Copies of this chain bind each other. A is one copy, B any other.
Amino acid sequence: MHLSNTSKYTIRILANMVNHKDTTLISAKELSDNLKIPYKFLTKIMTELVRVGFIESIRGREGGYKFLRPASEITVGDILELFNDSIKDEECILGIDSCNAKQKCALHDKWIKSKIQLQKMFKESTIESIAAEGNKI
């Protein structure tokens, strides 16, 4: 009942990029130092974020990363989806083969309530809001 390391790292990475206003670009080294994320693992994530178009990379000396899609338009839900980490509608609590509205398991109603709440939180939390003033990252 938790997010993968990759998802958690990504949320913090992107939020840190929002807060980095000094120059336009930020390097993998800086991010790794800021967030205490293993450098080699971070670069692997970065390459994936470039591939899917969340961010852009500039190679070579003085290179680094910057947003391609604005941070206000990237949600936590988007990130979870990218890393196959989101709560799927059909993926339910006891994973019973044939379950539907008529035949429920005992946990169904309560689980659905929490599930919707979490899905809403993920969908409504943008990277910009994560990075907002005063929040720990």
Contact = CB atoms under 8 A, between A and B. Distances in A.
Given A1-B3, A2-B1, A118-B1, A8 B106 contact: no
* Secondary structure type dominating chain A contacts: loop
A119 B79 CA distance: 25
Interface of A: 1-3, 5, 8, 11-12, 36, 76, 85-87, 91, 93-97, 99, 103-107, 110-111, 113-114, 117-118, 121, 125, 129-132, 135-137
Contacts of A111: 121
A137 B96 contact: yes
A11 B77 CA distance: 29
Contacts of A96: 12, 136-137
